[in-house]
Amino acid sequence: MNSAEENGIDLIDSHTHAQPTPEDGKAFAARYAFDSDRRGTVDELLDTMRRSHIERTMIVPWLPAQELVADKTALGVDRDEAVADVIGQWQSLNRWATDAVAAHPTELACLVGVDPVLMGEAVVAAEVAEQIGRGACGVKVAPMFIGRRPDDETMEVVWRTARDHGVFVLSQAGGTRRADEVEAWGHPAHFDSVLRSYPTVTVQLAHLGIGAEADVAALTSRYPNVVADTSMQLGVTEAGELAATIRRIGVDRVLFGTNYPLVDQADCVAIFEALPLTPDERHAIAYTNAKRLIAGGKN
């Protein structure tokens, strides 16, 4: 029996990237140099959830779309053809996610992933509308892989459509940049005007804004419509330091998240359970905050 079950603590994993097939799961992990025996499938995820006492898991459909387009054009594929093919892949992934939620409505939730640079405003608006109608409860965007700051005008369609549909947005966030980035596109400081301009849209900053956690805390002190999740921080940041960071950001503003299948969901639960938090703090982060956020969507 794991510690979560022994303590009767419910959990919601607010950030995972489950995949349609084992081959997709392996390819997703290998692209980012994560080598494991995890398959990343819904069946595997549901099994881990049962063993780890996780009530619900958020599937985040996401592709490094512009990288995939570049891969195709490097092989000689026409760019327009490559873009259309990758957009089709992403739309299929979004539909797979909503189908998974329809098959497991009490155990799974999902977002709709978009890239406004590659897709364009009309496609983003249509894709969000369709997938929210099919059961998605929010939108996913990744500035680091889009090459635009969240306050760039190209990104405005994301915030506007989220507002119009009454859902939240999960965004990649961090203070460090990749070698090929001009700047840290997803730096938490770049969300200031978005949070101010769209006060009814809650923005979930992934990874506690890794590398810029103090900037996340500054945002939560100013805006009620921003939260953050622990994905890719559990087991990376020392336990005492992580607990202190969570408290600075606000216990009522942090959600438990893992980033499965890049990491083991069960291991993350064990690491989270060992953090030096009070039972009330642990319950808020593990369950209450995410449940409130998901309930605010359309799922």
Q: What is the pLDDT of residues 152-209, one digit of tens each?
A: 999 999 999 999 999 999 999 999 877 777 789 999 999 999 999 999 999 999 999 9
Q: 110-132: string of b/e by CB count within 10 Å (b at 16+)?
A: bbbbbbbbbbeeebbbebbeebb
| Topology (CATH level 3) of domain 52-63+90-270+288-295 | TIM Barrel (3.20.20)
Locate the domains of the chain by residue range.
52-63+90-270+288-295
List Cβ neighbours of 166 (8 Å cut-off, separation of 6 or more).
200, 296, 297, 298
Taking the C-alpha atoms of residue 210 and residue 213, their distance in angstroms, rounded to an integer, is 6
Does the structure show a pLDDT above 80 at 7? no
Strand 203-205, strand 11-16: pairing: unpaired
Bridge partners for 113 per DSSP: 140
Taking a C-beta distance cutoff of 8 angstroms, is the pair 58, 94 a contact?
A: no
Which sign, positive or negative, has the C-alpha torsion 295, 123, 126, 166? positive
Q: How far apart are CA 101 and CA 186, in angstroms?
A: 28
| Cα maximum dimension of the chain | 57
Tell me the whole-structure pTM to 2 decimals.
0.94
Burial of residue 153 (CB within 10 Å: 0-12, 13-18, 19+) is exposed
Of the pLDDT bands very low, low, confident and very high (cuts 50, 70, 90), residue 297 is low
